[in-house]
Structure 1
């Protein structure tokens, strides 16, 4: 991962997402995310639609970029990495596509993958196209059809049940056994995020160091070895466009791996805001949850234990770890904001958001909060 001294001096230039042609892209100081003419030519070669391409960036993700693309006779969702520079092995969208193809015939709801493009020649980076679904991604606002107590409970039941279904998939049975690096997943994770902090940090946050020591001292043995989503939360699923509260698709597979499934549950709970939780731009990932009327963290944990058959004995450790690793990982996003490589307000809000996450990690580790 790049240091601040390695970031381009022209990083403060205005950022443009979509341009018409490769020549337009060449005139920009920072590369665009989508070149309309190049993508039209690529789709023409595949026989996918015809005529001018319409593109709209969607979602509240702050890592890989997502667009709805439309032309006569064709529509899809496109996923590609963010603007460079970024670490060599990060933002692997082809990995996302592979896991969704692997899960197509399982109980885990995923969109159909339509096209994967491994070449950088079309958009300057690999990308994939998946079917466009027309459900509801619930973030800051609850759709009217889901705005009652019964629908709220069904939403959370479906959320937890989808996580349990993912963890029930045998990686070998769906052709993902090569992702299994064996035991000591949690040890590798701690080592990884220790290294990330050394690379990412642009300021000292003492609470993160204290939590790191607590995590080392209280590290449990791995609970199991399953597929792990890595970013499983309310905002990363799409609900059917009805009052059923049923999940139509699990989204954003960027961090998928094989490891301890309890890390997914700990992360879900770390994002599962309840009324009365501290105000924070990151705890706000729970969005509508803060308004109340949903089952709480205790219900989520109990339902997961019931559906998965797994013990919650070390849940406090996993929630503290989730806050800690999220803070460490997002410091790299804040680093990009400091360097002027992004105009995303979320990244700039990390100036205060990451220290707040560190405080949540400390409160969980030392006082047992958020579990």
Structure 2
């Protein structure tokens, strides 16, 4: 797959930023994400960086804003949240037709394949799961005004904003009629909780969006901040649970690393987060269901983009209509088993 960057121009830009680059750059597509395109850059002496740019083709309004993502990373540099350091944001049209963010390459592993998760000791898997919950609590403890993120997004009721935004995204990327998803949207509107705490919300916090020490299970960096906003912190733990299938559940199309021995259950993950953050579980059923609902909508958007331009297809392939349906079915399972569908 071709690289959607002019590497010679990007090298010149990096040198202009004071970054030492030996010889020519090479770039390799990394990660299995379907949204922003991510590349590992390497010079002739083995030094490496990560470059991120929006996907190819027509983009939905407000989506894939890597400049905004860079602002968040910069704001978090001196907090308890582990993030990569930045080389900067390149907006030179000679490099790419869109802005490109370049950051340090953090050593560690990303659990984006089952074989990577299987290589970890069960004790390290358990520690990783608990560290995910604790790191999420660190994100929500950030003083947004002190780090300059107080104006990152609206402070209006978050649940209402989420339902409005993602419903609009679905209508913009819909590939077919999905009445069961429309019914789930109506259920979420009917069970919307009152506004809760306001914090920085990652928006896409799951096991494939962190760099990990595979031996210890510690987190070295939190990645993919493009969906971050200001909102209810319970939304983030709900989203994390949405990406955390358990052994014995019917297939949902989600990454199944969390079903391996050692990883905490969803309940243990939630309990660790509530303990670390000091919050209660009152609205968790709503946010968990909404998290799976969002995955279905995101998957539909990815499917639409790959139909429009196959170059946007990541290494792991694109969602299929059948896979999207299993995610919708899983959302209904969560809504029913949690009691949300009976309210």
TM-score (norm 2): 0.92
- 2:74, 2:216 → 1: CA distance? 26
Q: In structure 2, what is the equivalent of residue 23 of structure 1? A: none
- For the pair 1:276 / 2:248, whether they are aligned, the reply is yes
Q: 1:166 aligns with which of 117, 133, 139?
A: 139
Of the structure 1 ranges 331-340 and 57-66, higher mean CA displacement relative to structure 2 is found in 331-340
2:2 to 13, 17, 32: 17
Give the aligned partner of residue 38 of structure 1.
9
d(CA) in 2 for partners of 1:234, 1:274: 14
Is 1:55 aligned to residue 23 of structure 2?
A: no
Aligned match for 1:349, one of 319, 332, 337: 319
- Which residue is equivalent to 2:230? 258
Whether contact under 8 Å (1:200, 1:329) holds in the other structure is no
Structure 1 position 93, deviation (Å): 0.8
Q: Which structure has the larger Rg? A: 1
Is the counterpart of residue 108 in structure 1 residue 77 in structure 2? no
Instruction: Give me the whole-angstrom Cα distance separating, in 2, the residues matched to 1:94 and 1:345.
Output: 25
Name the residue aligned to 2:184. 211
Deviating 4+ runs (over 4 angstroms): none
Q: Is the 8 A contact 2:159 2:195 kept in 1?
A: yes
- What SS does the aligned partner of 1:305 have? helix
Determine which of 31, 52, 66 is the counterpart of 1:93: 66
Aligned twin of 2:281: 312
TM-score computed with the length of structure 1 as normaliser? 0.85
SS in 2 for 1:51: coil
Deviation at 1:144, TM superposition (A): 7.3
Deviation sequence 1:10-54 (CA, Å, 0-9, x none): xxxxxx422xxxxxxxxxxxxxx1222222332343453131212
Q: 2:187 and 2:34 mapped to 1: Cα distance?
A: 29
Deviation at 1:246, TM superposition (A): 1.0
Question: What is the distance in 2 between the residues matched to 1:89 and 1:184?
Answer: 19
Partner of 2:208: 235
User: Which residue of structure 2 lines up, in the alignment, with residue 28 of structure 1?
Assistant: none
- State how far apart, in whole Å, the 1-side matches of 2:134 and 2:86 are: 23
Paired positions, count: 336
RMSD: 2.0
Describe the superposition over 1:121-154 as per-residue Cα deviations: whole angstroms up to 9, x where unpaired: 3222111111111111123224677313x22221
Partner Cα separation in structure 1 for residue 148 and residue 73 of structure 2: 12
CA distance, structure 2, for counterparts of residue 151 and residue 71 of structure 1: 33
1:211–1:90 CA distance, 2 compared to 1 (3 A): same
Residue equivalent to 1:12: none
Aligned to 1:267: 239
Describe the superposition over 1:177-234 as per-residue Cα deviations: whole angstroms up to 9, x where unpaired: 1124123111111111222222111111121111111111111012211000011001
Conserved 8 A contact 1:334-1:347: no
How far the C-alpha of 1:245 sits from its partner, in A, is: 1.3
Q: Aligned to 2:192, what secondary structure does the other structure show?
A: coil
Q: Tell me the CA shift for residue 340 of structure 1.
A: 4.0
Distance 1:369 1:269, change over 3 A: farther
Distance, in Å, in 1 between the alignment partners of 2:116 and 2:28 is 22
* 1:155 and 2:155 are equivalent in the alignment: no
Q: How much does 1:329 deviate?
A: 2.7
Gapped regions of structure 2 (runs ≥ 5) = none
Query: Looking at both structures, which has the greater relative contact order when contacts are Cα pairs under 8 Å and sequence separation is at least 6?
Result: 2
